Amino acid sequence: MFALRIIILITLIVPLNYKLCSCQCARAEYEIHKQCCPMCAPGNRVHWHCTDDTSTTCVPCPSLTFTDEPNGLTECFPCTVCDANRGLRVNKVCTRSSDTVCGPLERFYCIEKKKGCCTLAVQHSECSPGQYIKQAGTGSTDTICADCTGDTYSNGSFSSCLPHTICEALRLTEINPGTHSSDTKCGNPSTAVAIITPSVIVTLILIPVIIVFIFKHIRKKKQSKSSGKC
């Protein structure tokens, strides 16, 4: 009796398993109209589905379209366009079997990605005067800035802060002291000499003139006194 039950159970399960298996297509097949058809290779699409007598008919993807996996599609995917307004440029051109690979423009870095492809990039930050570029920006990271300290300066584009110029060491006169955003401003000593020299010359000319004038004045006074006495 027990053996009979096992035989009946097997008789019911085997057909059921066969039905379950028969409705699932193999890994390299796709189902269409309750029939399993061979997939097309990457770079191709289905032109005609298979029948009981024929296999799937595949054709290459048209220009500017692609399929990157085995498929049962009747249309290929359009190639991605790298939009410069989103900070993107073409790193790898689209082919029939692979999509366009976009990357950030020069001096931009990627902030959004999809399947390893950049979808949005923004411009690197610029360092302000008084800061230097501690770490230059890359295609995936922004610029890192740091402040100048001590007697150093940077206009924001230097890779390190530079020491202030010492005017005395160059035998020049300091006009404006240096700041963290600008260097010391030095002047030529000859400028000061050029201003002082004319004053000295004028003074040297005036002194004899004044002495002569005073001498003449005294002489006239003496002459007038002498004429009065006569």
Exposed/middle/buried for residue 185 (C-beta within 10 Å: 0-12, 13-18, 19+): middle
How confident is the model at residue 201, as a pLDDT? 72
Class of the 81-123 domain?
mainly beta
Encoded tokens for 2 = 């027990």
Q: Which amino acid is at 17?
A: N
Q: What percent of the chain has pLDDT over 90?
A: 67
pLDDT at 15 over 90: no
How confident is the model at residue 157, as a pLDDT? 95
pLDDT at 16 over 50: no
How confident is the model at residue 7, as a pLDDT? 52
Q: Does domain 125-187 have CATH number 2.10.50.10?
A: yes
Task: Tell me the pLDDT tens digit for each residue of 106-122.
Answer: 999 999 998 889 999 99
Task: Tell me the pLDDT tens digit for each residue of 163-183.
Answer: 999 999 999 999 999 999 999
How confident is the model at residue 122, as a pLDDT? 97
Q: What is the mean pLDDT of the chain?
A: 85
- Identify the band that residue 198 occupies on the pLDDT scale cut at 50, 70 and 90: low
The predicted model gives 142-150 an average pLDDT of 97
Encoded tokens for 171 = 């035998």
DSSP secondary structure string, the chain? -HHHHHHHHHHHHHHHHHHHHHTSPPTTEEEETTEEEEPBPTTEEEEE---SSS--EEEEPPTTEE--S-B--SSPEEPPP--GGGTEEEEE--BTTB--EEEEPTTEEEEEEETTEEEEEEEPP-PPTTEEEEE---SSS--EEEE--SSEE--S--SSPEEPP-TGGGT-EEEE---SSSPPEEE-HHHHHHHHHHHHHHHHHHHHHHHHHHHHHHHHHHHHHHHHH-
Distance CA 48, CA 57 (A): 5
How far out from the chain centre does Cα 192 lie?
A: 48
Q: Where, residue-wise, is CATH 2.10.50.10 in the chain?
A: 81-123, 125-187
pTM (global) more than 0.75: no
Task: Tell me the pLDDT tens digit for each residue of 57-82.
Answer: 999 999 999 999 999 999 999 999 99
How confident is the model at residue 144, as a pLDDT? 97
pLDDT at 162 over 60: yes
Give 194 or 84, the one with higher predicted confidence.
84
The predicted model gives 211-222 an average pLDDT of 73
Distance CA 172, CA 190 (A): 9
Q: What percent of the chain has pLDDT over 70?
A: 80
Is the CB of residue 64 less than 8 Å from the CB of residue 94?
Answer: yes
Task: Tell me the pLDDT tens digit for each residue of 30-43.
Answer: 999 899 999 999 99
How confident is the model at residue 18, as a pLDDT? 39
